[in-house]
């Protein structure tokens, strides 16, 4: 008869025995599994190392020209906004804003429909006050007010933008309004002319010197006008760059009252940039310690304990940060800034009081130490790049570890299959044993019955 579970026929716990054999055999897979776990942890740790290096590299961006020699600009009015660059000279200024720069607008005569075609095709030529000229070809395009507006707004070379105003007039509610793209008189529209479409010409042709003759209304452009320490300034834009060297002035509102502006040296920007770099370096150093740590009590290392890549990255960042900077300046290393190394942890320790004093008295040397040709910022950025760039050293070791992971998985699958094959062979043998024992028990039972019958027959005689 068919036996659905081994051991049923014989009464032996062959199923349990087979599972115990499987469990015992699969213990040998633990070696491969442990190697897989260690390799996966290493791949993850390389990712953490790459991220930590990237953060340290990013911290060098704050060590910039704008940080060393930064200025602080204050003004006693919100009518202007001023930002300063490192080349701005400390000083005081009195600014009076007489007039803001504005854009010209030209509003065409009223029109009855925004969607009906106005003739066919044609070329629209726009000439600006600064002499620039550009032509928009309407061939094959929608010549309705809506279509003309869309075509104008899609052409960045025209120097103007368009919109449609709905006045609410029941018969002719739509007016096309054209605005110069930039502020100031030079950017204003001088003429608009249409060739090849008389109907469209009747709507758009205009000479800004006499807009009323074409049914247009005009709001003229104006230049910004201001005085700086009594000197008259005219600008096409409300944003003035280098009117005062190193300063960018944005005019928000005209006013009668003079505005007092003070430009002062700001060592705080450099101080914060250096402090932030020290913090980033220590964060990187802590990450290395964590990734390469060894627990003496557990006798167990971290993912990159003993890994040469982690130590090489740490050494590279330390050398780039702490190495002397060539040159003749008095400040040529971190020690000169009041930054020393903790001998136990390797972290940087900052004497903020000393750094503040050095920045106050010797900013040029500090700037050169970080930003010079062989300065710390450039060295750290370049050294980190060797490890974290695409196809760099960390990518290479990660790729190698991923190949190891694939080989380990192949080994695991092959070993697991060998075990399953062995267990299947055991199962077949157990089935045969079960059948054999079942038959033997059947024969034994038959013989016992026959002997019992013979005994009964003899006792009846």
pLDDT of residue 17: 76
| Strands across the sheet containing 80-84 | 80-84, 247-251, 239-241
HSE-CB at 320 with a 13 A cutoff on CA atoms is 24
**Short-list 161, 145, 142, 84, CA closest to 113:** 145
101 contacts 184 by C-beta, under 8 angstroms: yes
List strand residue ranges (DSSP E) for 101-223, in order: 105-107, 123-128, 133-137, 160-166, 174-180, 189-195, 206-207, 217-219
Angle, in degrees to the nearest 10, between helices 30-59 and 308-322:
10
Residue with tokens 């006693």: 76
**Cα distance between residue 80 and residue 233, in whole Å:** 15
Q: pLDDT tens-digit profile of 28-83? A: 888 888 888 888 989 999 999 999 999 999 999 999 888 888 889 999 999 999 99
Other Cβ atoms within 10 Å of 116 Cβ, number = 11
Bridge partners of 192, per DSSP, are 126, 206
**Helix, strand, or coil here: 51?**
helix
pLDDT of residue 2: 38
pLDDT of residue 29: 85
Phi/psi of residue 321, nearest 5 degrees: -85, -40
Specify the DSSP element, H or E, that contains 270. Answer: helix 267-291
pLDDT of residue 23: 82
**Cα distance between residue 199 and residue 138, in whole Å:** 13
Q: Provide the residue ranges of all domains of the chain, joining segments of one domain with +.
A: 71-101+224-265, 105-219
79 contacts 261 by C-beta, under 8 angstroms: no
pLDDT of residue 446: 65
186 contacts 159 by C-beta, under 8 angstroms: no
pLDDT of residue 247: 94
Bridge partners of 226, per DSSP, are 97, 233
Please give the C-alpha separations between residue 452 and each of 24, 443, 448, 456, 460, in angstroms, as whole numbers. 46, 14, 6, 6, 13
**Cα distance between residue 94 and residue 355, in whole Å:** 34
DSSP per position, 236-260: SSSEEESSSTTEEEEE----SS-EE
**Helix, strand, or coil here: 413?**
helix
* Structure-token pair, residue 1: 């008869």
**Cα distance between residue 434 and residue 440, in whole Å:** 10
The DSSP bridge pattern shows strands 206-207 and 189-195 to be antiparallel
270 contacts 70 by C-beta, under 8 angstroms: yes
pLDDT of residue 415: 85
For the chain, which ranges sit under pLDDT 70? 1-14, 430, 434-435, 438, 441-442, 444-447, 450-451, 455-461
**Short-list 97, 90, 73, CA closest to 261:** 73
Q: pLDDT tens-digit profile of 17-38? A: 778 888 888 788 888 888 888 8
Rg of the chain in Å (alpha carbons): 43
């Amino acid at each position: 008869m068919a036996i659905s579970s081994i051991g049923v026929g014989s009464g032996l716990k062959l199923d349990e025995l087979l599972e115990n054999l499987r469990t015992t055999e699969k213990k040998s897979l633990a070696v491969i599994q442990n190697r897989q776990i260690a390799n996966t942890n290493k791949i993850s740790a390389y990712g953490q190392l790459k991220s930590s290096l990237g953060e340290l590299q990013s911290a060098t961006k704050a060590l910039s020209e704008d940080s060393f020699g930064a200025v602080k600009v204050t003004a006693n009015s919100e009518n202007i906004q001023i930002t300063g660059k490192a080349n701005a000279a400390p000083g005081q200024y009195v600014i009076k804003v007489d007039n803001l720069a504005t854009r010209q607008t030209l509003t065409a005569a009223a029109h009855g429909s925004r969607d009906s075609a106005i003739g066919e095709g044609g070329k629209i030529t726009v000439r600006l006050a600064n002499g620039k000229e550009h032509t928009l070809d309407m061939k094959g395009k929608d010549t309705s007010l809506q279509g003309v507006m869309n075509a104008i707004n899609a052409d960045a070379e025209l120097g103007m933008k368009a919109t449609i105003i709905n006045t609410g007039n029941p018969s002719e509610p739509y007016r096309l309004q054209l605005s110069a793209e930039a502020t100031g008189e030079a950017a204003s529209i001088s003429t608009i002319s249409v060739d090849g479409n008389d109907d469209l010409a009747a709507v758009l042709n205009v000479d800004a010197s006499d807009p009323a003759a074409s049914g247009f209304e005009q709001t003229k452009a104006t230049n910004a006008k201001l005085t700086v320490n009594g000197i008259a300034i005219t600008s096409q834009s409300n944003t003035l760059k280098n009117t005062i060297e190193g300063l960018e002035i944005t005019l928000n509102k005209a006013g009668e009252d003079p505005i007092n502006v003070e430009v002062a040296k700001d060592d705080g920007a450099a101080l914060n940039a250096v402090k932030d770099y020290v913090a980033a370096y220590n964060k990187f150093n802590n990450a290395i310690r964590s990734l390469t740590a060894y627990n003496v009590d557990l006798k167990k290392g971290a993912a990159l304990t003993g890994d040469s890549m982690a130590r090489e990255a740490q050494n590279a960042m330390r050398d780039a940060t702490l190495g002397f900077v060539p040159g003749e300046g008095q400040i040529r290393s971190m020690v000169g800034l009041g930054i020393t190394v903790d001998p136990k942890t390797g972290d940087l320790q900052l004497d903020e009081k000393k750094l503040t004093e050095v920045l106050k008295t010797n900013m040029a040397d500090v700037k050169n130490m970080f930003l010079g040709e062989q300065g710390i910022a450039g060295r750290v950025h370049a050294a980190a790049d060797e490890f974290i760039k695409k196809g760099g050293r960390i990518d290479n070791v990660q790729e190698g570890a991923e190949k190891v992971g694939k080989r380990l998985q192949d080994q695991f699958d092959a070993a697991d299959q060998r075990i399953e094959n062995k267990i299947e062979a055991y199962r077949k043998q157990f089935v045969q044993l079960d059948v054999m024992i079942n038959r033997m028990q059947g024969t034994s039972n038959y013989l016992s019955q026959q002997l019992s019958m013979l005994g009964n027959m003899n006792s009846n005689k």
